[in-house]
Structure 1
Amino acid sequence: MKFSIFILLILAELCTTYKVLVFNPAFGASHSNFLGKISDILIDAGHEVTMLIPVFVDGKKDLIGSKKVKNIIRLGQDPRIYQMQKEGATEELMRKKIWTMGAEITSMLGFIGNFSKTSAYQTDYMFAQTELIEQLREEKFDLGITESLFLGAFSFFDEIGIKTIINADSTLYMNGVKDALGEPAAVSYYPGLFSPIDDKMDFFGRVKNLLGYQFGMWFSTVKYDAEIGALPKSYKGSRDWRKILSSVAFNFVNSNQYIDYASPSLPKTVFVGGMQVNTKKSGKATLSKEWDEVLSKRKTNVLVSFGSNAFSCDMPDEFKNAFLEVFASMPETTFIWKYEEANSTLANHLPNVKLTTWMPQNDILADDRLTLFITHGGLGSSVELAYQGKPAVVIPLMADQPRNAHMLTRHGGALQLDKTLLDKPSEIKKAIETVLNDSNYKKNAQRLAKILEDQPNKPKDVVLKHCDFAVEYGPLETLNSEGRHLNTFQYYSLDIAFAVLVVFLIVLFILHLIIKFVFRLLKRTLLSPKKKVD
């Protein structure tokens, strides 16, 4: 009897499995890791995941973001994209200029100018793969997952017959998706994705935040229109990017409501930030013997990493020398520095410094012996240090990093340092010692980690449950907001305000005429000469 029940349970489990296609372009590590983690969650639940990896950046062609996905289909880079990126030396130039260029998004205009064009090339190239399209169509996938960074993926899913799609953005949110869903931007108090200021904005701060949001909308519109224009004439689906994005079953964002600023959101927006973090308590964060020995050498340990796009080896020499001077002045502290030049001798004279081209960042952050994290404030790193409860010095370099920095510092566990001060050893050391010597930073960081540990809905469960729900019921029209169909005047009730103003002015005008008429009547009555009486 027990054996029969066991068999029935297995069969029931098998019946509920489904097939998922994850569109995960080789573009950037944070993007690949985010979509890779969603893939891992689905695989652990017994579902069949196929990952399609079109190469967008040649230097990132080996990215997968997952160790569990076995069904991988790679699509080589479009020759036109390869040529453009090679001629522009985009990757190399960005890595070098990132240290000195302005941190705001407008400083990236020179780099993102060709992004629309290359995205359109990728869409055109994908739809030219007729054999691949037919192969994928025959798989009859139940669910497609992709990121709104590349709109062509949504049309590609439609072309191969996937009707239920989840958008999964590795960022906090995307302006274009907010607009398509009709979700309030709340620019008067909700910091934009690239906002260098927090939610306490004065007049000029709100102006700046509004302009930043409009800049993001402009970029999304131009890029999406270019990708739509690259679709073949044979494609029968929608060519309205707002309609395409609003038809998703859910919109996953790499945000956590207990870390980020409070904001209005719609039912389709699902917060999954933190699903990718393995904490020490989970038992999955463990260190190898090599890293265990490194952390055991000294009582104080500091991890220095600027992410996967900013290479420390490409820093200006004055920045490198400033860090080395700080490290030399703190011999009782071990500094683990992510330095991307293999076998570098830069710090050979400093026994307390370990240079490494790679390290298990999450697992090191999870270790109790790590004292401080010096980070660029990338979203992945910000979420990891929040979950691991580590105090930090955040040095934002560009894009969304300034926003991530003030998002973290408001919790009291991190201190922000401007990157223009990286040539001043005294400023770097002052920031480090401030956090190390003030126990409130550690206390506040640990409190935030406890909040995240105890949050009612675990991000991993949220991901799985919403994927299951999407497969079962598809994109529900009842979850769509009618706000997405309103123009700017209607959305912000400016038309009503204008109508009220017009009515008010008409009433004032009528009152003016009445008063004028009464005044003339009184004047005529009171001031007219009296008739003589005989």
Structure 2
Amino acid sequence: MKFPIFLFLILVELCFSYKVLVFNPAFGASHANFLGKISDILIDAGNDVTMLIPIFVNGKKELVGSKKVKKIIRIDQDPRIAQIHKEGSTEEIMRKTIWKMDSAITSMFGFIGNFSKTAAYQTEYMFQQTELIEQLRKEKFDLAITESLFLGAFALFDEIGIRSVINADSTLYMGGMKGALGEPAAISYYPGLFSSIDDKMNFFGRVKNAVGYLFGLWFSVLKYDDEIVAFPKSYKGSRDWREHLSNVAFNFINSNQYIDYASPTLPKTVFVGGMQVNTKKSGKSTLSKEWNDVLSLRKTNVLVSFGSNAYSSDMPDEFKKSFLEVFASMPETTFIWKYEVANATLVDHLPNVKLTTWMPQNDILADDRLTLFITHGGLGSSVELAYQGKPAVVIPLMADQPRNAHMLTRHGGALQLDKTWLNNSEKLREAIQTVLNDVSYKHNAERLAKILEDQPHKPKDVVLKHCDFAVQFGPLDTLNSEGRLLNTFQYYSVDIVLAIFVILSVILFVVYLVIKLLFRFLGRLFSISKRKVD
């Protein structure tokens, strides 16, 4: 009887498997890894995944984010984008200036100025690949997944006839998507994506948060409008970016309700933060002999990494000197430092420091022997350290990292250090020693990890179930909020407030007139009575 049952299970899996197209531009590691992990979850469930990778940044063209996707289609970089990036040396300048530039989003004006133009070029170039588009149309995909960073992906899905689309943002949320769905931004208490302040805001804090949110929304709208202009004349679909985004079946965001600040959301918004993390309890987190030996050298081990966009090798010399002084002052601690120059001799005089161009970050964080994580506070790293229960010193550099930093510190397992102090070895050492010596940081970090381990709905299951649901039912109109169709005055009930103000003003004016007439009447009566007495 076992063999027929085995065949039955295979048939069941085949019946419920479906074809998925994942639009994953070569833009940044965090973006690629997020969409790649979703692809892995779908593949593990027996689904057929094809990944389409338009090359937006040539230096990222090898990014896939998944080791399981076998069907990969790349679209070459538009020559105009290549020329802009070459002339501007965008990647190199960003890596070198990120260490000292203001962490506020407004400091990125110089870098995002060309982003709308290059996004439009990419969309135009993509639609010129007519043979590829026809090939994709013939595949008859059941589901499409992409990130709302580029609007062209949604138009492409529409062009090739994919009915069910899921947006999957690798960030906590995107302002453009919130606006399209009609989801409350709650700017009076919910920190914006690039907010440097937490949810306890005074008047000026709320003003700053509102400006930050509106800036992010403006940037999205500007980029979307430029992409729409680039749609070919042959495209018969909508040229309203709000319609493209609001028609998604679900909106996945890389946020976890047990880590992030509480916020109002709509049914289409789905929290999947943490789906990419393999913890020690899962049994999938293991270390090679090399890293096992490194962590066995000393009782205290500290991991230092600033992510994939900020290179430690591009730090200002005074920052490097500060780190080296701290490492030298703590010989009983092993420091694993992600340093992007192979065979660098920078720490040859320090036996307690290991430089590496790459390391299995998640697996090292999962090891009980790791004591502390010094991080830039990128969202991927923040989620990993939260799930692994490791205390941290968070040194945000730019963009959403300040927000991620105060999001973590409020749980009590992390300490935030301003990057302007990186030239001060005493301040850096003090921050490290504070977290190492105060056991509350370790206990709070472990408590947060326990909460995440026991959360009612596992993010991986949430991803798979919502993808299955989207394939089965498509985008449900009943999940759409009417708020997305209201203008600003209607959405925030400003029209009602104005109407009440007008009505009250009219009533007060009428009362004023009545009282005025009454006094005149009484005045005349008094005058007549006085004349009679006289």
Q: TM-score range by the shorter chain?
A: over 0.9
Residue identity in the other structure for 1:410: R
Residue identity in the other structure for 1:96: K
Residue identity in the other structure for 2:36: G
Residue identity in the other structure for 1:83: Q
Q: Which stretch has the larger CA shift, 55-64 or 5-14?
A: 5-14
**Equivalence for 2:138:** 138
Structure 2 residue matching 1:429: 3-state secondary structure = helix
**Equivalence for 2:105:** 105
Counterpart-to-counterpart distance in 1, 2:529 and 2:455? 88
How far is the alpha carbon of 1:259 from its aligned partner? 0.1
**Equivalence for 1:173:** 173
**Equivalence for 1:240:** 240
Deviations 1:442-491 (A, max 9, x none): 00000000000000000000000000000000000000000000011100
Q: Percent identity?
A: 79
How far is the alpha carbon of 1:437 from its aligned partner? 0.3
Counterpart-to-counterpart distance in 2, 1:249 and 1:276? 22
Residue identity in the other structure for 1:292: N
Counterpart-to-counterpart distance in 2, 1:246 and 1:461? 24
Alignment of 1:367-406 (within 5 A): 367-406=367-406
Deviations 1:134-154 (A, max 9, x none): 111110000000000011000
The answer to whether 1:353 aligns with 2:347 is: no
Q: Which stretch has the larger CA shift, 264-273 or 520-529?
A: 520-529
The answer to whether 1:72 aligns with 2:92 is: no
Counterpart-to-counterpart distance in 1, 2:13 and 2:322? 58
- In 2 relative to 1, CA 532–299 (structure 1 residues): closer, same or farther, beyond 3 Å? closer
How far is the alpha carbon of 1:161 from its aligned partner? 1.2
Counterpart-to-counterpart distance in 1, 2:442 and 2:112? 38
Counterpart-to-counterpart distance in 2, 1:335 and 1:529? 101
Counterpart-to-counterpart distance in 2, 1:279 and 1:447? 15
**Equivalence for 1:19:** 19
- In 2 relative to 1, CA 93–520 (structure 1 residues): closer, same or farther, beyond 3 Å? same
**Equivalence for 1:218:** 218
Counterpart-to-counterpart distance in 2, 1:132 and 1:173? 31
**Equivalence for 1:154:** 154
Residue identity in the other structure for 2:182: G
* TM-score after normalising by structure 1: 0.99
**Equivalence for 1:251:** 251
Counterpart-to-counterpart distance in 1, 2:229 and 2:440? 54
Deviations 1:208-252 (A, max 9, x none): 000001101110110000001100000001100001000000000
**Equivalence for 1:525:** 525
How far is the alpha carbon of 1:530 from its aligned partner? 5.2
Residue identity in the other structure for 2:456: P
Deviations 1:413-444 (A, max 9, x none): 00000000000000000000000000000000
Alignment of 1:341-490 (within 5 A): 341-490=341-490
**Equivalence for 2:335:** 335
Counterpart-to-counterpart distance in 1, 2:257 and 2:400? 17
Residue identity in the other structure for 1:218: W
Structure 2 residue matching 1:415: 3-state secondary structure = strand
Counterpart-to-counterpart distance in 2, 1:3 and 1:340? 53
Counterpart-to-counterpart distance in 2, 1:196 and 1:127? 39
* TM-score after normalising by structure 2: 0.99
How far is the alpha carbon of 1:531 from its aligned partner? 6.3
**Equivalence for 2:87:** 87
How far is the alpha carbon of 1:298 from its aligned partner? 0.3
Structure 2 residue matching 1:22: 3-state secondary structure = strand
How far is the alpha carbon of 1:529 from its aligned partner? 5.1
Counterpart-to-counterpart distance in 2, 1:275 and 1:502? 52
**Equivalence for 2:299:** 299
Residue identity in the other structure for 1:377: G
**Equivalence for 2:47:** 47
**Equivalence for 1:125:** 125
The answer to whether 1:275 aligns with 2:275 is: yes
**Equivalence for 1:183:** 183
How far is the alpha carbon of 1:528 from its aligned partner? 2.2
Structure 2 residue matching 1:242: 3-state secondary structure = helix
How far is the alpha carbon of 1:8 from its aligned partner? 2.3
Residue identity in the other structure for 1:270: V
Alignment of 1:302-313 (within 5 A): 302-313=302-313
The aligned length equals: 534
How far is the alpha carbon of 1:532 from its aligned partner? 6.1
How far is the alpha carbon of 1:5 from its aligned partner? 3.5
In structure 2, runs of 5+ residues without a counterpart are none
Deviations 1:175-206 (A, max 9, x none): 00000000000000000000000000000000
How far is the alpha carbon of 1:75 from its aligned partner? 1.0
Residue identity in the other structure for 1:300: T
- In 2 relative to 1, CA 531–380 (structure 1 residues): closer, same or farther, beyond 3 Å? closer
**Equivalence for 1:515:** 515
How far is the alpha carbon of 1:74 from its aligned partner? 1.0
Counterpart-to-counterpart distance in 1, 2:266 and 2:79? 40
In structure 1, runs of 5+ residues without a counterpart are none
Residue identity in the other structure for 2:132: L
Counterpart-to-counterpart distance in 1, 2:532 and 2:57? 104
How far is the alpha carbon of 1:2 from its aligned partner? 4.5
